[in-house]
Amino acid sequence: MRFACLCITSAAAQLMTLVRSPEQVVFDMAMSFHLPSALRLVIESHVPEILRAKTDGAGAHVDEISKINGVNAQKLGHVLRLLATHYVFDEVEPNVFANNRLSESIDTGVPLDEVLPRPLEKYDSKNGGFAALVAVTTHESMRNGLFMTDALMDSTLTNSFLPEDSPFSLAMWPGSTCFGWMNTTPENRWRLTRFGNAMEGVSRLTPPDAIMKGFRWSDLPPDSIVIDVGGGIGSASLPIVMHTPVKLMIQDRGIVLEDATKYWQEHCPKALDSGRVSFVDHDFFKPQPSITGDGYPTVFLLRMIMHNWADEHAKIILKHIRGAAKDTTKLVIVDGLLETACRTGGGSSPTTNKLQGDKKGVKPSHPLLSNWGAANGMAYKFDIQMLCNHNAGERTLDEFDKLLAETGWRIVEVYQSHQSWMPQIVAVPNGS
């Protein structure tokens, strides 16, 4: 099904660019920023929750919505019509809108009478993670993106890969980094919590058990220790605990782990109470802490961490993990993998024979782009989002191979699946 989806989406998107004039296509792209702007408004003004609470599916007039969220009805109607034109919400009658399958994805499910007095807490709900992800992307990340040209055309910044020289720094706080800004500024505590919820929301982009579709977690012995490095609230590693008997240690900064404890109390309290899940306040730019007792790290997990850091910073993280690894330790990196959009000139990659999974050797037929084009666009948008947020980005498989080799690791397997746009790279210590 996923393969068919890739083919259809890639072909449809490419066909749309061919049947319209170049000017229409490019100008439509230029105005596309209005869509995330509109999404942010409806999320922060609780339109999906209002429609769920006030209608039985028949829809609500913008005047009624406006009375609840305080947004001018005429302006709100135009915003909702833009989204309905792009299939988010249905306009069932003039100025009467209803939820549909797309708008329901950003409905946190929290009762409206709880949302209105405590709006930021709605992202803490079981279904709030994806709404938080879209909110973060359309708020901080979108603003950072507006400053990409300024940063890349500044002769003092363009050749720097330091996070404090990112477009974020120009957009939000000169000389600061995105994570530092959220972690150390008290007035941004709510942003940090929303970001943690957003990382849980990333799981909605793939099947719930996507982390299990690759590295064979179920083969690990019961006394294995999995360390989720920079794991945030630990939402990515939750399926590992639920499907295997391993012990999990989540490493992140203390302020983040406060939210992690709440998350596990809600989603898997037995693992928390039994001690199978633990939390360690750790800065991954410092050496890995020693583990007391008989155990030692069996697997280190880096999920959506490497793309936050350019090579020089990424090497520090990887070297510290290598210093704590035994010969039998595995490293699992979950990140996007970039491929070129051309069919020629790439040659045979030294890592090609390490590919596993149902995408191995599968390429789209001509005239579709060799990387699936717009159907695989999320990985390339994430790449630029990481550039704007952190002065970093996604990597190709060969770039990962080089980075890992320089830090004492060797890639042994790469799992690519049509069910997930984030492959799993498995590495072992060099010489093992």
DSSP 122: G
Largest Cα–Cα separation, the chain: 68
For 280, the 3-state DSSP assignment is strand
Q: Quote the CA–CA distance of 207 and 219 in Å, as a whole number.
A: 21
- Measure the N-to-C terminal CA separation of the chain; round to a whole number of Å: 38
- The CA-based dihedral angle spanning residues 120, 121, 123, 127, taken in that order and rounded to the nearest 10 degrees: -150
Q: At what angle do helices 311-324 and 397-405 cross, to 10 degrees?
A: 50
Catalytic residue among 46, 139, 282, 307: 307
Catalytic: 139? Answer: no
> Which amino acid appears at position 162 of this protein?
L
What are the CB-based long-range contacts (under 8 Å, 24+) for 164-169?
165/391, 166/387, 166/388, 166/389, 166/390, 166/391, 167/387, 167/388, 167/389, 167/391, 168/140, 168/144, 168/388, 168/389, 168/390
Inter-residue contact 240 to 248 (CB < 8 Å):
yes
Residue 108, Cβ density class (10 Å: 0-12 exposed, 13-18 middle, ≥19 buried): buried
- 33: tokens are 């920023």
Q: Which residues are catalytic?
A: 307
